[in-house]
């Protein structure tokens, strides 16, 4: 018997396992992914402008089209450049109901925050908390 077929001669198919944090998800679990909303992009623009004197240089939001395939490991994320370096310094991305701040050069998680505004505040606290809301 061929390894690619079952006892009745039908082709075997492998179910693609959904993974989260390196562990397979049960079939009845749907992963939750936050999106970068327009209000987050507006906050990012205000934060970037306020942080320019503190070395913030540029920020770009990468938002995946829901109709297209996932190109990378993350659906939506923000890259932040500081002090005119060629490589981005930080990446902000959603992880379930949290936001991660990742060192983009070393690929190490620096912080896990409850809100997008708190993630930006972790990088550079340039907006007062009431302005970030």
Does the pLDDT at position 54 exceed 90? no
In a domain, 9, yes or no: no
> pLDDT tens digits, residue range 76-89?
889 999 987 889 99
Q: What is the mean pLDDT of residues 88-114?
A: 92
Half-sphere exposure of 82 (CA within 13 A, CB side): 13
Interior CA angle at 90 toward 67 and 56, to 5°?
115
Domain encompassing residue 50: 31-132
Cα–chain-centroid distance for residue 93? 2
Q: Is 8 left (phi over 0), alpha (psi -120 to 50) or beta?
A: alpha
In a domain, 2, yes or no: no
**Residue 13 confidence class, pLDDT cut points 50, 70, 90:** very low
Query: In the chain, how many domains are there?
Result: 1
In a domain, 5, yes or no: no
In a domain, 3, yes or no: no
Separation of alpha carbons 19 and 126, rounded Å: 36
In a domain, 123, yes or no: yes
Q: What is the mean pLDDT of residues 51-76?
A: 72
pTM: 0.68
């Amino acid at each position: 018997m061929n390894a690619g077929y079952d006892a009745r001669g039908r082709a075997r198919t492998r179910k693609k396992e959904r993974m989260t944090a390196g562990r397979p998800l049960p079939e009845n679990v749907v992963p939750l992914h936050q999106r970068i909303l327009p209000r987050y992009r507006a906050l990012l623009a205000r934060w970037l402008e306020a942080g320019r004197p503190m070395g913030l240089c540029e920020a770009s939001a990468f938002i995946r089209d829901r109709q297209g395939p996932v190109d990378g490991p993350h659906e939506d994320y923000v890259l932040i450049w500081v002090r005119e370096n060629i490589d981005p310094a930080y990446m902000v991305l959603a992880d379930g109901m949290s936001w991660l701040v990742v060192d983009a050069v070393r690929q190490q998680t620096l912080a896990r925050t409850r809100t997008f505004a708190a993630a930006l505040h972790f990088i550079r606290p340039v907006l007062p908390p009431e302005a970030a809301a």
